[in-house]
Amino acid sequence: MLKKIGVEHLRVGMHLEELCGSWMEHPFWRTKFVIKDPKDIHLIVESGISEVWMEVWIDIDKGIDIPAASKEQVEAKVDAELMATAAATGTPMQVVQPRVSMTEEVKRAAKICANGKDAVVSMFQEVRMGKAISAEAAGELVDEIASSVARNPGALISLARLKTADDYTYMHSVAVCALMVVLARQLGLDEKEIRDAGMSGLLHDLGKAMMPMEVLNKPGKLTDEEFRIIKSHPEEGHRLLVEGGTAGATVLDVCLHHHEKIDGSGYPHRLKDEQISVFAKMGAVCDVYDAITSNRPYKSGWDPAESIRKMTEWTNGHFDGRIFQAFVKSIGIYPVGSLVRLSSGRLGVVAEQAEGSLLTPRIKVFFSTKSMAYIPPELIDLSRRGVSEKIVAREEAEKWGIKNLDQYWAA
C-alpha cells in the first residue's frame, strides 16, 4: 500500500516509491528502491525539490512504515514552537493606520487584485517583447497593495491566494508583494524599506516571463532539462532588471536570491545563512508560503494553517528563524481561510485575525462533526470576553467532504 510522507520521516528500511512534486536534481538513477543507507536519506533531503513539495511516496508492503509516534512527536514539537511564537511579546500585527473590517476591505482588495493581475500580465508581456517595465506603474501598484494591507492585512493576502492554476504566475507576484509589505512592517522596517520589500515581491519572479509557457504551465512532471530551464528564472529576472536600469539593489538581490536556503542547499549560488540578506530571507518565506497555499498546474494548494505548520518543520534548514517568527505573527498561526475544529465539535473557517492574539481569530462555523451535517453559518469571535470556545485542531476539508471552503469567508 502506498503512503505519502514528509521527507523528515524517511527511515532506513522504507521502500521509496516516488518523489512527489517537481524534484530538481535527485541523485538516484531510480526512484523505486529500499533505503539501506542513511546517506541516501541525506542525499534526498540535500537534493531539494522545486518550490518545496517536500514529500515522497513509500510502499509499506515492501518496506517499513513510519512509526506512529514519529509523526505525533514532530507535530507536537511544531505545535509547541507555534504556541511559543503566539505567546512571545509584541503585537501580532503592526498597522500604520486604523484597521477596517475584513468585509469592508475585501471589496477594495478584490479590485486591487484584479488590477494587479492585469498590471503584472502587462509587465510580463513588455519584457517578452524586449521592453523595460514601467517603474512608475510598478510603484503605483505597490502603493495600492501596501495601503490595502495596512487597512486589513488579511483581505488582499487571502484573496490573492485564491488564484487559479492558470493565473498563478501573475497573481503570485501580487500575493508576494503583499506578504513582503506585511512582513516588513512586522519587522519594524522604515517606510522606504517597506516599499523596497513590496517592489521586490512584485518583481521577484520577473524571470519567469522568459520561461517557455509550455514548461511554466506544464501540469505533469518536468523533465531534467525542463527543471534546468525553470531554475534559471532568478538569474534571468536579475538580468532583465539590470538591463532595465530602474531597479534598486534590494529588488535585484531578492530577485536573484529568493530561492536560497540558510543551509546552503538553495539556488542559484548555494548561499548560506550569513551570506543571504534579510530581504532575500524575507522573499524566501513569502514566496514559499504563497506557493504551497496556491493551486498549481501539478498540485492543489495546502490549507493555510497546515502550510504554517509545515514551514515551521522546515525552518532549521530553509528559513531564518527570526524572519519566520515575524511572518507567523504577521499572518497568524491560523491564517484567514484555515479550516479548524472548535472545542464544541463544530468546524469553521478563519474569517479574520484578532488584533490582540494569534490564538483567538474570528471563526465562521458551518458544520457539526457530531451530527455530521451543515449548520447555519455563525461568526464567532474567540477573542470576546465570555466566549468559551477555542480551537482544538486544524482540519482537512477533504476529510469531511467539504467543498468550496472559501465561500464562508470571502463572500
What is the chain's mean pLDDT, rounded? 86
The closest alpha carbon to 374, from 395, 335, 400, belongs to 400
> What's the whole-number mean pLDDT along residues 135-164?
92
Nearest alpha carbon to residue 336 among 142, 198, 202, 156:
156
* Res. 222 pLDDT band, cuts 50 70 90: confident
Q: How high is the pLDDT of residue 22?
A: 45
The more confident residue out of 91 and 196 is: 196
Q: What percent of the chain has pLDDT over 90?
A: 56
User: Are residues 352 and 102 in contact, defined by beta-carbon separation less than 8 angstroms?
Assistant: yes
pLDDT digits (tens, 9 = 90+) for 349-387: 999 998 778 889 999 999 999 999 999 999 999 999 999
Is the distance from CB of 331 to CB of 153 less than 8 angstroms?
A: yes
CATH class of 102-331: mainly alpha
Distance CA 170, CA 157 (A): 14
3-state helix/strand/coil string of 130-194: CCCCCHHHHHHHHHHHHHHHHHCHHHHHHHHHCCCCCCHHHHHHHHHHHHHHHHHHHCCCCHHHH
In 289-371, the DSSP E strands lie at 339-342, 346-352, 362-368
- For residues 224 and 220, the model is more confident at 224
Distance CA 365, CA 177 (A): 31
**Residue environment code for 28-60, b if the CB has 16+ CB neighbours within 10 A, otherwise e:** eeeeeeebeeeebbeebbebbbbbbbbbbbbbe
pLDDT number for residue 49 = 45
Least confident of 58-72, 214-228, 341-355, 373-387: 58-72
CA distances to 192, 354, 384 from 145, rounded to whole Å, are: 15, 21, 30
Question: Cβ neighbours of residue 383 under 8 Å, at least 6 residues apart?
Answer: 354, 356, 357, 360, 361, 362
CB-CB neighbours of 90 under 10 Å: 12
Is the model more confident about 92 or about 310?
310
Spell out the domain ranges in the chain: 2-66, 102-331, 339-410
Is the pLDDT reported for residue 12 higher than 80?
yes
pLDDT at position 31:
64
Give the model's pLDDT for residue 68: 61
Chain segment 21-47, per-residue pLDDT in tens = 544 445 555 568 888 887 777 777 665
Which range, 131-140, 215-224, 273-282, 297-306, has the best average confidence (pLDDT)? Answer: 273-282
Q: How confident is the model at residue 392 (pLDDT cuts 50, 70, 90)?
A: very high
From the list 4, 95, 81, the residue with the least C-alpha distance to 308 is 81
Q: Using pLDDT thresholds of 50, 70 and 90, give the confidence band for residue 54.
A: low
pLDDT (0 to 100) of residue 33: 82
Confidence at residue 219, expressed as pLDDT on a 0 to 100 scale: 78
Angle among Cα 264, 178, 248 to the nearest 5 degrees reads 65
Q: Which of 10-14, 95-99, 303-307, 353-357 has the lowest average pLDDT? A: 95-99
What percent of the chain shows pLDDT beyond 70? 85
Name which residue leads in pLDDT, 356 or 212.
212
Report d(CA 228, CA 223) in Å as an integer: 9
pLDDT at 11 over 70: yes
Which residues fall within 8 angstroms of residue 144, CB to CB, at 6 or more apart?
112, 115, 116
pLDDT tops 90 at residue 108:
yes
Whether residue 67 has pLDDT greater than 60: yes
Is the pLDDT at 91 greater than 50? The verdict is no
